[in-house]
Amino acid sequence: MNSTLRLIPLGGLGEVGKNMLLFEHGRDILIVDAGIMFPEHNMWGIDVVIPDFGYLRERAGDVRAIVITHGHEDHIGALPYLLRDVVALDTPIYATRLACGLIEARLAETPNRGRANLRRIAPGEGFRAGPFEAEFLAITHSIPDGVGLCITTDLGRIIHTGDFKFDYTPVRGGGPGFTRLGQLGAQGVLALLSDSTGAERAGYTPSEQVIAPALDAIFREAPGRVIVATFASLLSRVQQVFNAAQAHGRVVALAGYSMLKTVEIGRNLGHLDAPKGLLVDLGEAQRLPRERVALVTTGSQGQPEAALARMADGTHRQIEIVPGDTIVLSSTPIPGNEEDVARVINRLFARGANVIYPPLASVHVSGHASQEEQKLMLALTRPRFFVPIHGELRHLHAHARLARQLGVAQENIFLLENGQVLELTAEGGRVVERLPSGTVFVDGAGVGDVGPVVMHEREVLAHDGFVIAVVPVSLATGEVSGKPELVSRGFVYLPESGDLLERAAERAWQAVRSLGSKKQPAIIERTQDALRRFFYEETRRKPMVVAIVTLV
């Protein structure tokens, strides 16, 4: 019998997104979630960020199962990469019905993939994988079918809350399973791993139901179309838009691929109720009087490629924003997206729309527990050890303070960072090592081929542009035969900067004509160095300078 349990976070600690946690008992591994993180504003050209699977690559044969707590992208989005590059496709993936539906849709977009080994289970049900006995716990979140986990080994019970809040009146689905949480607490919980995203927020997180009156008032007073932007996976919010539209005699059309796909999945699984005639396609909605139309769209986070941003820029192929339109942003910006969201809001106002967003109206509530709910989770489960998860460092520290207030001993609270290994034994817990746990960038079809050097180069290009110097070298002698020709993009406006580039070419020519070496690498290095110094002296800018040799 192995008496050591290792907890290894590969993502989600010290950041919002990219959630992934490993339970390791002996040689057996259980994976909980595999999510993505959306790129920060300075991650030029990056589509998404995924966890570093380096440790798992060496241990892929030891993975007994993957468990998914719910269907948000920051918990399932990395599954296609994990199954493609690391873990065997037939590895069991345990999830609820909606999460399975969203995973199937996600995997269907991955080329040349077989069918994943998805196993649907409901709250209250469980499974065994190697030494791990797992039970799905009923919790509430901003997406239906979310669950927490009770994972039992010979060492004891671990409760993993997933993302949660205690919503007594959810729009769809049942409420939180207080009774079962209390039972587990009475039986003994070795460790609680609990969602920390809302740990700075006092009180309780409001129920999803508080949004209904605000939406009702907006639909009643709007003179033209009502366009609601929200997360595609926030099906309870989509249902509330359906309800408000039906109450005020409007039809609903959907905009954005992920919105169309997720609503289809939600309807097929019974998580959305759309009476006959309520949903119409976008083309039909365009032909109806504006006061009879509501749209639900993606892009509430200001993503440049999403439908709402294209509407704000006037580049959407079907939807043109006009005065009289009412735009509702039913979300709050994920940290890092604030500037993008503000930019979209300003552009919508510029087009004459009336834009409504928190805190102007109660059109969004968080899906994450506030402090009093986090205290209640701690009080129900009464853990020996506590590990705050899912959040930036400030959230984790705030959650740790709450645990201390409720009597968890300081030495039993572990503030982990991604890659740190927490070992739990009958005697206690300790952090024993740090494993590779960096970020892996996904850019188009490339996964991990863009690293810090490329990102730095992209940052330079974005800030200062580039200059290419084409240096003529004699084929016969190997010597530089004339001034280089300079080509610039994103550095200076060429029609007005001819003199600057001419003087730069002269400086480079003077630097290389006296060069004793005829080797091309030396010519390239001297040219680049001379141009960098010249441009900084003249403009105080540092464009990327690339010299190439052409034989003449």
Sign of CA dihedral 527, 533, 539, 545: positive
Q: What are phi and psi of 245, to 5 degrees?
A: -65, -45
Residue 495 pLDDT greater than 70, yes or no: no
Residue 499 pLDDT greater than 70, yes or no: yes
Residue 2 pLDDT greater than 60, yes or no: no
Over residues 518-539, the pLDDT tens digits come to 788 888 999 999 999 998 898 8
At 287 the three-state DSSP class reads helix
For residues 221-242, one letter each, b for 16 or more C-beta atoms within 10 angstroms of the residue's C-beta and e for the rest, the string is ebebbbbbbbbbbbbbbbbbbb
Per-residue pLDDT, averaged over 5-28, amounts to 95
371 forms bridges with which residues in the sheet?
Answer: none
What pLDDT is attached to residue 1? 46
One-letter amino acid of 413: I
Over residues 415-424, the pLDDT tens digits come to 999 999 999 9
Over residues 90-117, the pLDDT tens digits come to 999 999 999 999 999 888 887 656 688 9
One-letter amino acid of 113: R
Confidence of residue 517 (pLDDT cuts 50, 70, 90): low
| Global pTM value | 0.85
Over residues 215-244, the pLDDT tens digits come to 999 999 999 999 999 988 889 899 999 999
At 28 the three-state DSSP class reads strand
Please state the domain extents for the chain: 5-204+366-447, 208-356, 465-551
- Concerning whether 368 is annotated as a catalytic residue, the answer is yes
Confidence of residue 130 (pLDDT cuts 50, 70, 90): very high
129 forms bridges with which residues in the sheet?
Answer: 132
Helix 178-187 × helix 371-381 angle, to 10°: 50
What pLDDT is attached to residue 111? 66
- Concerning whether 160 is annotated as a catalytic residue, the answer is no
What pLDDT is attached to residue 48? 82
Residue 448 pLDDT greater than 80, yes or no: no
What pLDDT is attached to residue 196? 97
- pLDDT: which is higher, 513 or 248: 248
The number of beta carbons lying within 10 Å of the beta carbon of residue 536 is: 12
For residues 422-441, one letter each, b for 16 or more C-beta atoms within 10 angstroms of the residue's C-beta and e for the rest, the string is bbbeeeebeeeeebebebbb
Domains 208-356 and 465-551 share a fold: no
Candidates 28, 33, 52, 195; catalytic one: 195
What CATH number belongs to 465-551? 3.10.20.580
What CATH number belongs to 208-356? 3.40.50.10710
Q: Which CATH class is domain 5-204+366-447?
A: alpha beta
Across the chain, mean pLDDT equals 90
Asked which of 82-91, 177-186, 506-515 is least confident by mean pLDDT, the reply is 506-515
Kindly list the distances between the CA atom of residue 287 and the CA atoms of 219, 253, 298, 348, in Å, as whole numbers in the listed order. 19, 12, 22, 22
The fraction of the chain above a pLDDT of 70, given in percent, is: 95
Per-residue pLDDT, averaged over 274-280, amounts to 93
Are 118 and 95 contacting, i.e. CB atoms less than 8 angstroms apart?
yes
Per-residue pLDDT, averaged over 321-349, amounts to 90
Are 274 and 230 contacting, i.e. CB atoms less than 8 angstroms apart?
no
Candidates 72, 160, 368, 399; catalytic one: 368
